[in-house]
Homo-oligomer: A and B are copies of this chain.
Amino acid sequence: ARTGLAEAVYGPGKSPEQCAAAVAGLLAGDGEGPVILTRADDDQVKAALAAAPGAQTTPTGPGLQTLVWRAAPPREGAVPVLTAGTGDLPVAREAAAVLAGYGLDSPVVADVGVAGLHRVLAHRETLETADVVVVVAGMEGALASVAAGLTSAPVVAVPTSTGYGASFEGVTALLAMLSSCSPGVSVVGIDNGFGAACAAVRILGARQGAA
């Protein structure tokens, strides 16, 4: 893309052939950044790898993978990805896979929801030394506020659709994150681990030359 960011193909709803063609087209184009296929099922993965071998593959949710072609070489940057519950892991893994496509090796710190504060407090140093923090949560979004109170780094919050009770497919977490009383939290769409990673990459400097 002209902005130096990755080109991405969103798998759901596309046929294996469409996925393969889209990926091949992007690799043949004049861009130079990573090419990413997200939430691909087994057939889509197979077709895409047949058309364009050599991708990094990361399992995200049950039966779904994120693939990265033309991944960037390793670079500096601490972008921990926190989750409130274990159910938030697929979205966190999607974010981490996309960050990896940009050369960033990001730890996923799972299940540190605020119902047991000691869990997130145990990762205080990770938060304090982070360059960007990604917070993934599907119930109330409280973790984004708490995390933002423990770091001066930018916090990008991702609501997930994995809650229950009154979580309304992520809407409750989305609204709570937008209403965070910790100033400077910003938010991406529901389940949008890809978008959070892109925001983090923009923040770090999309092209390494920008740093």
Dominant SS at the A interface?
Answer: loop
Interfacial chain B residues near A131, Cβ < 8 Å: 206, 209-210
What's the minimum C-beta distance from A61 to chain B, rounded to whole angstroms?
A: 9
Residue of B nearest to A9 (CB): B86
Contacting A3 at CB < 8 Å: which of B1, B14, B151, B188? B151
- Of A41-49, A52-60, A197-205, the stretch lying at the interface with chain B is A197-205
Residue of B nearest to A142 (CB): B142
- Interface range, A side: 35 or more
Find out whether the CB atom of B145 lies under 8 angstroms from the CB atom of A183. no
Number of copies: 8
Interfacial chain B residues near A154, Cβ < 8 Å: 199, 202-203, 205-206
What's the minimum C-beta distance from A43 to chain B, rounded to whole angstroms?
A: 13
Find out whether the CB atom of B3 lies under 8 angstroms from the CB atom of A210. no
**A73 contacts chain B at the CB level, 8 A cutoff:** no
Among residues 27 to 72 in chain A, which have CB atoms less than 8 Å away from a CB atom of chain B? 62
Find out whether the CB atom of A146 lies under 8 angstroms from the CB atom of B117. yes
Among residues 179 to 207 in chain A, which have CB atoms less than 8 Å away from a CB atom of chain B? 179-192, 194-196, 198-199, 201-207
Q: Mark A1-22, 1 if CB is under 8 A from B, else 0.
A: 1111110101011110010001
- Whether A165 contacts B191 in the complex (CB less than 8 A), given A140-B180, A140-B181, comes out as yes
Find out whether the CB atom of B187 lies under 8 angstroms from the CB atom of A178. yes
Residue of B nearest to A204 (CB): B210
Find out whether the CB atom of A115 lies under 8 angstroms from the CB atom of B182. yes
Contacting A153 at CB < 8 Å: which of B167, B184, B190, B206? B206
Find out whether the CB atom of B206 lies under 8 angstroms from the CB atom of A152. yes
19 intermolecular pairs with C-beta atoms under 8 Å apart: A3-B151, A5-B152, A6-B183, A115-B181, A115-B182, A139-B176, A139-B180, A140-B145, A142-B146, A142-B181, A152-B202, A154-B199, A154-B203, A165-B190, A166-B174, A178-B189, A183-B199, A184-B198, A185-B199
Chain A residues near B (Cβ < 8 Å): 1-6, 8, 10, 12-15, 18, 22, 62, 76-77, 84-87, 113-118, 121, 131-132, 139-142, 145-146, 148-156, 162-168, 171-192, 194-196, 198-199, 201-207, 209-211
